[in-house]
Structure 1
């Protein structure tokens, strides 16, 4: 479920277009804002920040636009990595429209909660963390109430990463705690709506017959069952290790 089996970036984009477009937006905005410090891009970035002063003055688009902005390369990389890791399975299970609705819905509700609970005129925030934690909320809902949609091993991975994320939320400075907590709550509450008629994730579903009735995948690539099983057994510790390394790097950058 969280092990990527796609043979190329092109294939990943083909299978998960919504996740891919969001990540591309992350990268493009970071590139334009950070590596091309042109005043026009700076102004656009400022217009997109979650500025509570601006929201108090009726700039309600700031509930949406901060989801796509980040405060540096590591911030962008971490959120994009999280989306690539946890987004594809949900995009397949929900479909493109419902996945986009759930992702943006969780992010927007997290930003609204941030504004209501911390209405300080000077508060400014950016980042996709609220939407990312919304994905966790949907997975935790599956673990609790839709066990047929997620196997026990992937449920364990989700819960461990979620707990680590929540712990870091409250021990690291400079994090929008409201967005993390209420993004998770929003995702949990949206889950029973968007999971209607959802089916468990399956990598095989990506390689169905096309309209021309030609098989689009090589069945031999699935023969190494032992190797795949071993990867899945180690997936939990691989993911935790990567997150710890990224977290440590971001702490000193």
Structure 2
């Protein structure tokens, strides 16, 4: 993990290239491989999807479902968004912080689902997909762009459109989108605050922030 952010988000990097950063590439490759495995052996997918009643006994489901997708279009959209955002965020945050951001956002998306259905809805809900994690990347980018004074209304418009679609199109887990977005934005904001207030101990603060957010999410998951 680098001790400081490497550069401000640059709007000129919005276009797609094949030079994919390593963690971004590894995450995308894992999703593609698991899509193939799930197609050939559906029972594996059943073991990895997020289903609240089982997740308490099998907590790995809070993250593993982010590597599954409900069809080719779902996979294609999420992988495009992952690579698009990863190309901007991974060089900025570094490999470790970017990986932490992605995984905690995925976790947060499922915790949000568990909290919602446990409070208001039917627990018989099944979710798959990297959307919660991708929305975490969206949220982090929005915060970092503002923090560094970058202007990128295109990305912010994309976030708004996809957030609204989650509420109006049946079958989309808007809870996962909101949970990932909130935690991604929160992590980025806390990392920025730590960087500005304690440059000499940035790494320690960033680790503490990641551990603290993880602990809070685990606590919520345990309650609901």
Tell me which interval the TM-score lies in, with the shorter structure as reference length.
0.7 to 0.9
Q: Give 4+ residue runs of structure 1 displaced > 2 Å after superposition.
A: 192-198
Preserved CA contact (<8 Å) 1:70 1:76:
yes
Unaligned runs of 5+ in 2: 1-12, 197-224
Residue in 2 that maps onto 1:250 = none
Give the CA deviation at 1:123.
1.1
Q: How does 1:110-189 map to 2 (within 5 A)?
A: 110-119=109-118, 120-144=122-146, 146-148=147-149, 150=150, 152=151, 155-189=152-186
Residue in 2 that maps onto 1:30 = 35
Residue in 2 that maps onto 1:48 = 48
Preserved CA contact (<8 Å) 2:143 2:188:
yes
Residue in 2 that maps onto 1:204 = none
Give the CA deviation at 1:194.
3.8
> Which of 45-54 and 117-126 deviates more?
117-126
Unaligned runs of 5+ in 1: 199-253
For 1:193-251, what per-residue CA distance to the aligned partner results, in whole angstroms no more than 9, with x for missing partners?
344659xxxxxxxxxxxxxxxxxxxxxxxxxxxxxxxxxxxxxxxxxxxxxxxxxxxxx
Residue in 2 that maps onto 1:78 = 77
Give the CA deviation at 1:43.
2.3
Secondary structure of 1:64 counterpart: helix
TM superposition score normalised by structure 1:
0.67
Q: How does 1:217-228 map to 2 (within 5 A)?
A: none
- Structure-2 separation of matches of 1:3 and 1:64: 29
Aligned residues: 180
- Structure-2 separation of matches of 1:117 and 1:17: 34
Residue in 2 that maps onto 1:64 = 63
For 1:35-57, what per-residue CA distance to the aligned partner results, in whole angstroms no more than 9, with x for missing partners?
x2xxxx3222111000112124x
Secondary structure of 2:171 counterpart: coil
Secondary structure of 2:34 counterpart: helix
Give the CA deviation at 1:86.
1.3
CA RMSD, aligned part only? Answer: 1.8
1:100–1:30: structure 2 CA closer, same or farther, 3 Å change rule? same
Preserved CA contact (<8 Å) 2:37 2:44:
no
Q: Work out which of the residue numbers 2, 6, 14 in structure 2 matches 1:2.
A: 14
Secondary structure of 2:170 counterpart: coil
Residue in 2 that maps onto 1:247 = none
Q: Which has the higher contact order (CA 8 A, sep 6+)?
A: 2
Secondary structure of 2:50 counterpart: coil
Preserved CA contact (<8 Å) 1:98 1:194:
no
